[in-house]
Structure 1
Amino acid sequence: MIFTRRKALQVGAAGAGGLLLSGCDALNDSQSFKDGLAGVGRLHELTQRTIIGDSLAREFTEADMSPVFKANGSLRVADPAYRALLVGGFAQWALRVDGLVHRPLALPLTALQAMPQRTQITRHDCVEGWSAIGKWQGPQLGAILSQAGLMPGARYVVFHCADKLEGKPFYESIDLVEAFHPQTILAWRMNDAPLTEPHGAPIRLRVERQLGYKQAKYIMRIELRESLAGLYGGRGGFWEDNRGYQWWAGI
């Protein structure tokens, strides 16, 4: 099933998504074509969620861990503010949690480390076709959102990141179902060591029932929103906006 899901996204990105980005005017201007792609993604989401419910992603043992865990996407952040934080060991960094919340938060790394921690050994499945098993540690995202107190209109959790790709800010988003899943954590530790820059320091999202492109790195801010409309390209993430990837990336 993982292979099938990957292939579907690869075909979508190289085919339909690629056409949208390559300037094929007939498709680019066709709202019915765009709506059709969105409809297929929504159908897949509804079907899979009906099947898997609130089940957990498979967890592994330390003996299963990959000897090398490939870092991909951004490997270095050029932003001067980020580089200053990195040099200082992120002592001056704080995670902002705002938007549709009753209590906006500014949580330093020490506060996240002091919260109850979840440790999980899971498989990272990339749409490019490779997988790796790694060990992650961090607080559950749901606990942080509960601390902030969600307003009734909150439906999406948006992760604003320090890196840019192709000159565009990187961001990702998930809904509240995945946000409150017990395996969805903000990892600050990987394979028993603090995250390195290539792997997303100071924290990265681990949403274990989703493909790798949803695992946002270098998270600076979490924003609660009612809608994704009007946010960058409006499709909920950098890869979704710019490569035609589906917003729902369940595996």
Structure 2
Amino acid sequence: MSLNILDSASVLFVHAHPDDETISTGALIAEFVARGATVWLLTATRGERGEVVAGPLSALEGTAELSIERDRELRCAIETLGLTDQFWLGEPPARAAAQAPRRYLDSGMTWIRPGLAGPAPDSDDAALAVAPLAEVTADIAALIAHLRPALVVSYDNGGGYGHPDHVRVHDATVQACRENAVPFAEVRGTQAADAEWFDLRAHLGTVTAALRCHATQLTVHGTDIVHSGGQREPITTSVGLRLL
């Protein structure tokens, strides 16, 4: 690759929902922080439509209080990972000039088959996945122009597992990076041949602690994540990136 990714002095991560930053890129964030980079996070929605882990917080599901709790959980994860700052899409400086602030809502999803998500049949008109792509792009571009990161990292063109919000974030972020002439790297799936792979097991403890912050969304059992729907996956510490 023409760019030594891990030597980037400043990095902006762009994610759709609280917990995405830790599940898919927590180890990578921790590595950049350990190397002394300035690391920012842009989060597009507050995960309002997500399921809640059974237990003392389950009553929050479907309520306005859920987004408040997920904001608090995200703050905990940000502090644990050592991020420099976090921004919400649609709020300055992640809002196009002369546009009133807006709040992008979680679009929801349905499972098409195990491991592949698709659009929900009842997304709100304010949902991220149905927002004009040009508007989402302009908001992301505004933050990139404000921060001038050396690198931007987000999902691949399939959104990792197909979530419509992830796909919208990918499409808009790629275009916003092109408009600002900033390198973009997408997170790739397991052992993709076209990616550069980083073994970041040294950050397992940090990532595990950050995952525990997202208590409405998941639990940690040993070195596995158990999602609210019962799906189980290993904690990610090997990350593939592909520069576009």
TM-score, scaled to structure 1? 0.23
Point out the structure with max Rg over C-alpha.
1
TM-score, scaled to structure 2? 0.23
